[in-house]
Amino acid sequence: MTTRHARCWGPSRRARAESKASRKQPWLDRLASEKAHGLHRHRVRLLHEQVTDYERFECEWAYALNSRAGEDIRVLRLGEHQLPTELIDHDYWLLDDVHPVRMHYGDTGEFYRASHVPDLLEEYRAARNAAWNLPSRSSTGGPGTPNCIGAHARK
């Protein structure tokens, strides 16, 4: 986590985030190992038009760490840009271009679970390709960070 984010969150949030960072290290190691072994992990994340605190947290902290470890992430904010018609109305991973995994979130954007959905493979590929072809209008900044289009907008 960057110092800028730590200062904005204050002492209690900073301590919780640092605690989560150490717990997240095995996951980050797995992402790095998968990438080193040629596995490609793509994620397309659609944010609410009014970005929730949890969604902002994901972009500023969780996705930044994941992308540095090897996950390729595109984050799009609904209502901010003209989105391609191929995009689907939920978030997913596409693992090594053959394993589609749907993400399930609560009303405020918090992650609940993931489910393997092999029947959606072609739809997910088309949506991923459309998201990757969008021009980047903003980003979390720097190499190894996700393309978080519109993620930092205020409520």
Q: How far apart are CA 125 and CA 148, in angstroms?
A: 20
For residues 102-118, give the mean pLDDT: 89
pLDDT at residue 113 in the model: 94
- HSE-CB of 123 using CA atoms within 13 angstroms: 13
- Sequence ranges of the domains in the chain: 3-148
User: Mean pLDDT for the chain?
Assistant: 76
Q: How far apart are CA 106 and CA 10, in angstroms?
A: 26
Scored b (16 or more CB within 10 A) or e, 105-116 reads: beeebeeeeeee
**Residues 25-79: tens digit of each pLDDT:** 998 999 999 999 998 888 888 888 888 888 888 888 888 889 899 988 888 888 7
- Contacts of residue 40, Cβ cutoff 8 Å, sequence gap at least 6: 72, 95, 96, 97
pLDDT at residue 16 in the model: 56
Residue 135 has pLDDT above 60, yes or no: yes
Which of 72-76, 84-88, 148-152 has the least mean pLDDT?
148-152
Confidence class for position 24, pLDDT limits 50, 70, 90: confident
Confidence class for position 4, pLDDT limits 50, 70, 90: very low
pLDDT at residue 18 in the model: 57
